[in-house]
Structure 1
């Protein structure tokens, strides 16, 4: 499986699309708003660029794809007015994701978003130029010293590839307490390689004093197989094992499938930034969000069942293309129905949370 060819969120605006099931990701972006505003304020106040170049890496599709960029533009305009700058800067905005991303849906909604921005900001607000940038952020994407601000949320836990060693992982589809030590080490080494490459590429693309705010699905625990980061995949593996027992999934296919993800601890993120040495760390924070936040409303009459199926729909919008590439499309409805049942049962017994690691850094002079 070549990850770059199959890793993408479900496109369009249908019931299983990322656009319709990414409320939790939107809430996480909102939770880090103050960190983003501080970083953007620092860049604009120190550099005063005539054209502000900003990139969202791993933008995906749906409303979240333009949400961060519009917030950044609002922040810049607020600072401009506070500093009594008469002319507004222009904005060069880059939306990046892998080539399989549904860029069409983003650009279909762009005219409406641009009109709303223009109406909100007034006639003094500078022109905005939007660009789609298909490609892996584990390589160069932009010209040298061309960016002022880089944002990425819930993207950098995805790995560029999965080592062949993980074939020893058998019925685990991710790191687990029963995974061989060599598998866990292979996942960690791939994260180190990928994140270091990401930092090096961005250090070449950012101007001196440029800023980045990165939010990564991670963990607080030092143990990479801890429940707080692996349980969501353990439960999906449980659903797949049920389908193997029913003859709907081949056991060999289950044993050869592994999720290309690594959920790092704050210390692991910090360690790679310090080792790469191109950036100063401004802040490093850990936050949590309940799995139940995948849903929009809380229905006290049937909450746990609804919560479980909402989480299953959220995970389907994220992982379905990966699963289809391995198991085929025909089993997806049944698989995610089982997954929803398992999630509902677990969520009725305990409060489960995702852990977010957010780091804000400045490019060294």
Structure 2
């Protein structure tokens, strides 16, 4: 699997698009807003109230959450500027939106004029409000993306747990598609080592691109437990594996096909994140927080279903928007409906029995001198 070619959220605005099924991710963005505002306040003060700020959203995906982040960044700077008495000093903000080349950038670009018009109306004073310019930057954030010492602020939410490649394994991860209780120790080791290499590469690239004193706020899907196979980080993929294996038992998918499919993701603990930051050495950690979001945060009002059924149905659509491109590239189109029907039912059953949740690790950092 060439991750750079197949890893993307479902584009467009259809029933299974990421655009229409990312309420849970939106909730996480809202939860981390105080950390972002604190980081931007310190940046703005330490930079002696600059008239130009260059920001980047890495792994921006597409849909309303993308421009929500951009909007919140601009409004936060405007709020900080006014509170510090710089209301007469105009400021220009360049925001780079980055994701892999197959991301649905067209949907983003179609929304930019409306976004800019709405943002202007929300500003306190048109004459001195920030001018915001938006550009797309396709490419992997595990490579260099920007000029040396050019970026003031970097933000990323629910992107860095995705790996640059599926880990190279010496043993087959039989019956599993991710780290699991039944995975061989060598599989767990391969996942962890791939995360270490990728995160170190990410930090190294950003250290070259950011100005001295620049800030970075990252939120990753992670875990509280020291156990990389804990239910809090693996269960959502275990349910997809269960769905695929059910289709194997009915002769709808070849067993070897499932055994060769592995999700390119690693959900680190806060300790693992801090260890890699300290090891790379270019950044100082200002804040490191662990939070959680319930699966039912993906649920909107749907009059067709009861509350319980709606929770499972919406989480199923949320995960389909995330996982369908990966499943499609490996198994083909013929099994898609069967897999995700089973997956949604498994999610629904799980949510009816217990309060299922995802763990977030958010780290705020400053670029050293």
Question: Does TM, scored on the shorter chain, surpass 0.5?
Answer: yes
Q: Aligned pair in 2 of structure 1 residues 240, 301: CA closer, same or farther (>3 Å)?
A: closer
Return the alpha-carbon distance in structure 2 between the equivalents of residues 81 and 303 of structure 1: 43
Give the conservation status (yes or no) of the 8 Å contact 1:97–1:135.
yes
In the TM superposition, what is the alpha-carbon distance from 1:45 to its structure 2 partner? 1.3
The match for 2:359 is 355
* 1:336 maps to which of 324, 328, 340: 340
The match for 1:29 is 29
Give the conservation status (yes or no) of the 8 Å contact 2:166–2:262.
yes
The match for 2:226 is 222
SS of the aligned residue for 2:221 comes to strand
Give the conservation status (yes or no) of the 8 Å contact 2:171–2:184.
no
Question: Structure 1, residues 52-80: CA drift from partner, whole Å, max 9, x if none?
Answer: 10000000000011111111111111122
In the TM superposition, what is the alpha-carbon distance from 1:306 to its structure 2 partner? 1.8
The match for 1:93 is 95
Q: How does 1:87-126 map to 2 (within 5 A)?
A: 87-121=89-123, 122-126=126-130
Question: Structure 1, residues 194-231: CA drift from partner, whole Å, max 9, x if none?
Answer: 00110111111111110000000000000000000000
Question: Structure 1, residues 302-327: CA drift from partner, whole Å, max 9, x if none?
Answer: 22222112111000101110000001
Return the alpha-carbon distance in structure 2 between the equivalents of residues 112 and 285 of structure 1: 34
Question: Structure 1, residues 162-197: CA drift from partner, whole Å, max 9, x if none?
Answer: 123165101100000100000000000000000011
The match for 1:284 is 288
The match for 1:206 is 210
Structure 2, unaligned runs of 5 or more: none
Q: Aligned pair in 2 of structure 1 residues 110, 353: CA closer, same or farther (>3 Å)?
A: same
**Higher mean C-alpha deviation, range 50-59 or range 291-300:** 291-300
Q: Aligned pair in 2 of structure 1 residues 110, 166: CA closer, same or farther (>3 Å)?
A: farther
The match for 1:306 is 310
The match for 1:15 is 15
1:168 equivalent to 2:169? Answer: no
1:244 equivalent to 2:245? Answer: no
When the two structures are superposed, what TM-score results if normalisation uses the length of structure 1? 0.98
The match for 1:69 is 70
Q: How many residues align?
A: 365
In the TM superposition, what is the alpha-carbon distance from 1:298 to its structure 2 partner? 8.0
The match for 2:150 is 146
Return the alpha-carbon distance in structure 2 between the equivalents of residues 288 and 343 of structure 1: 18
In the TM superposition, what is the alpha-carbon distance from 1:246 to its structure 2 partner? 1.7
Give the conservation status (yes or no) of the 8 Å contact 2:74–2:132.
no
Return the alpha-carbon distance in structure 2 between the equivalents of residues 64 and 305 of structure 1: 25
SS of the aligned residue for 1:113 comes to helix
SS of the aligned residue for 1:114 comes to helix
When the two structures are superposed, what TM-score results if normalisation uses the length of structure 2? 0.97
In the TM superposition, what is the alpha-carbon distance from 1:299 to its structure 2 partner? 7.3
Give the conservation status (yes or no) of the 8 Å contact 1:21–1:317.
yes
Return the alpha-carbon distance in structure 1 between the equivalents of residues 155 and 303 of structure 2: 34
Give the conservation status (yes or no) of the 8 Å contact 2:56–2:95.
yes
Return the alpha-carbon distance in structure 1 between the equivalents of residues 138 and 255 of structure 2: 35
The match for 1:56 is 57
**Higher mean C-alpha deviation, range 302-311 or range 354-363:** 302-311
Give the conservation status (yes or no) of the 8 Å contact 1:80–1:88.
no
Give the conservation status (yes or no) of the 8 Å contact 1:305–1:341.
no
Question: Structure 1, residues 211-260: CA drift from partner, whole Å, max 9, x if none?
Answer: 00000000000000000000000000000011111222111110100000
Give the conservation status (yes or no) of the 8 Å contact 2:74–2:130.
no
The match for 1:269 is 273
Give the conservation status (yes or no) of the 8 Å contact 1:167–1:256.
no
Return the alpha-carbon distance in structure 1 between the equivalents of residues 360 and 167 of structure 2: 25
Question: Structure 1, residues 1-48: CA drift from partner, whole Å, max 9, x if none?
Answer: 110100000000100000000000000000000000000111111112
Return the alpha-carbon distance in structure 1 between the equivalents of residues 138 and 241 of structure 2: 31
Q: Aligned pair in 2 of structure 1 residues 248, 238: CA closer, same or farther (>3 Å)?
A: same
